[in-house]
Amino acid sequence: MLSWLNRAGPLAIPRFIWLLFAADAALGLAYLIDAFAGHPLGSLAHIIDLDGESNLPTWYSSIQWFVVFCVLTAVADGRVSRSNVRSWLLWLVPLIFLLFSMDEVVQVHESVGLHADALHPGGTRAGTAVHVTGLFFLVVGLPFVIGFGALILGVRPYLQRPPGALTKLIVGMTMMLVGAVGFDFLANFVEDLSTPAIILIYIEESLEMFGATVILWGSYQLLMPAG
């Protein structure tokens, strides 16, 4: 079974990556169908709510990031050199994805975003242009983009092989950030529970899931360059 999953499928993409892409798409479509059908599942709709917590999409994403953490930890273990201090930065890369996995469950970024409300006049986001997201994009999103970009520049020499693997990590992270920061920010300008709001949630969460799968694909290539 493992051998079959590792084999290349269409477009030379490993079969297990295709299966993950299918799962990403299925979770997104399930949410859309349920939302536009008027939630025929009733209370069970929570299970597939992309905007919900402690449900199937949340746990799926948490597992995605944890697998990325495990794979990149193995990559770092094989490429870090004691004599090359700069290569030690590789250990920071998997730790980022471990934090992502934990955050899906613990919701640290939301807590930070709430505490950032103190920066608003009056100490509340209510009545501001960012009444939904607050200053999350500014206090969390922007610093992370800058920090991750600097880290990638630092470890780039050690992730050049095989060709294309590092690019997938960058593309996947870009997809994730466009969803988590960009489309999340747009939620400030649509009415809650409206059709545009539902579509924004779908795009945001789908970009995050597909981005995680692309990152896992690149991580897998880094771990098995001969494959």
Sorted by where each begins, the domain ranges of the chain are: 12-223
Alpha-carbon span 165 to 185, nearest angstrom? 29
Helix residue spans in the chain (DSSP H): 2-6, 15-36, 56-79, 92-106, 108-115, 136, 142-155, 165-177, 184-186, 195-223
* Residue 175 exposed, middle or buried by CB count within 10 Å (0-12, 13-18, 19+): buried
- pLDDT average, residue stretch 166-170: 97
Label residue 59 by pLDDT band (50, 70, 90).
very high
Q: State the pLDDT at residue 132.
A: 76
Alpha-carbon span 137 to 145, nearest angstrom? 10
Alpha-carbon span 91 to 93, nearest angstrom? 6
Q: How many CB atoms lie within 10 A of CB 17?
A: 17
Dump the DSSP string for 10-22. Answer: GGG-BHHHHHHHH
| Long-range residue pairs from 186-194, CB within 8 A, at least 24 positions apart, any chain | 187/132, 187/133, 188/129, 188/130, 188/131, 188/132, 188/133, 192/132
Q: State the pLDDT at residue 136.
A: 77
Helix (H, G, I), strand (E, B) or coil at 8: strand
Q: pTM (2 decimals)?
A: 0.92
Alpha-carbon span 62 to 82, nearest angstrom? 31
The pLDDT tens digits for 83-95 are 999 999 999 999 9
Q: Are 20 and 213 in contact (CB under 8 A)?
A: yes
Given a cut of 50, is residue 227 above it in pLDDT? no
- pLDDT average, residue stretch 110-137: 71
Question: In the numeric block, which tokens belong to residue 46?
Answer: 């929570």
Cis peptide before 162 (omega within 30 of 0): yes
Type of residue numbered 207 = L
